[in-house]
Amino acid sequence: MTLARYAVFGHPIAHSLSPAIHAAFARQHGIALEYTAIDAAPADFAAALERFAAARGRGCNVTLPLKEAAFALCAQASGRARRAGACNTLTHVDGQWHGDNTDGAGLVHDLTGRRGLDLRARRVLLLGAGGAARGVAPALLDAGIDELVVVNRTPERADALVDALGEPARAHSRYWDDLRELGDFELIVNATSAGRGADDFSAPLSLVNSRSVAVDLNYGEAAIAFLAWARAAGCLETVDGLGMLVEQAAEAFELWHGVRPQTDEVYAELRGRDKTLVTAD
């Protein structure tokens, strides 16, 4: 029997947890599939995706830095992918790629479901304007936050993200150098990849108030610097991106296979597997 083929594309991708997560979900439902990690540099991504389709690849996840390129390669995109301008989940349908973005739903599921947080009426600071930030921004607005302030190292990308959101009354972009003047936030989301290889993270303590929750979309060592700053700054709660990773994968799995997998067991297994993940929670 030929197994149905799925994959995650990224650059780098060797340490991705997605193959283990999808294999665990498939075991829950007795679905036979192959899910591999494929490294594709941005310049090679279109060709790699074509080769995967030619080898009867049915669906794939896409991670950094390829999500905006994935959106451009899709013949059709869901509403949430169009709002994000970025795709993390592609499905091969009648010879074409259909794109979706499950990152935002994954984050909101983790924060409201697993963590029991009420996101409504929160003032939110989003650091970063890459593919992940584009995915989570619309979902945070839909979850009822009061205001979204987007700050990015390259300010033009923050402006473009906010323009694409089309909610000028609730979403604004600001300069990184002006963080001190932005007031305080009930939710601070790090959607940058700056923590990869960084020893520390620095931002004004004035961003934090007595209700602040800090969320890093990264997990493991890449989340240590930001979450250490958040704890030192007095955040009430700190959350890494492992739960979001599992929840966005569950959304993708449901799109492909039509069944919603249980996530708690898979999350607990991954959390227990790695000591860096434990300290990052």
Ligand X SMILES: NC(=O)c1ccc[n+]([C@@H]2O[C@H](COP(=O)([O-])OP(=O)(O)OC[C@H]3O[C@@H](n4cnc5c(N)ncnc54)[C@H](OP(=O)(O)O)[C@@H]3O)[C@@H](O)[C@H]2O)c1
Peptide linkage before 261 cis (omega within 30 of 0)? no
Nearer to ligand X, 57 or 241 (CB): 241
- Answer yes or no: are the C-beta atoms of 80 and 53 closer than 8 Å: no
Q: How far is the CB of 30 from ligand X (least distance, A)?
A: 26
Structure tokens given for 115: 């963590």
CA dihedral 79, 81, 83, 85 (to 10 degrees): -150
Decide: is 69 part of the binding site for ligand X (CB under 6 A): no
Decide: is 128 part of the binding site for ligand X (CB under 6 A): yes
- Answer yes or no: are the C-beta atoms of 191 and 131 closer than 8 Å: no
* Candidate residues 4, 20, 194, 255; the one interacting with ligand X per rule CB under 6 A: 194
Q: Which residues are tagged catalytic?
A: 67
* Candidate residues 74, 133, 149, 252; the one interacting with ligand X per rule CB under 6 A: 133
Scanning 112-120, 179-187, 218-226, 229-237 for contacts with ligand X by CB under 6 A, the matching segment is 218-226
- Answer yes or no: are the C-beta atoms of 150 and 182 closer than 8 Å: no
* Candidate residues 245, 250, 266, 277; the one interacting with ligand X per rule CB under 6 A: 245
How far is the C-alpha of 174 from the C-alpha of 165, rounded, in Å?
15
Nearer to ligand X, 92 or 196 (CB): 196
How far is the C-alpha of 168 from the C-alpha of 172, rounded, in Å?
7
Interface positions with ligand X (CB under 6 A): 64-65, 67, 103, 106, 128-133, 152-154, 157, 191-194, 196, 217-219, 222, 241, 244-245, 248
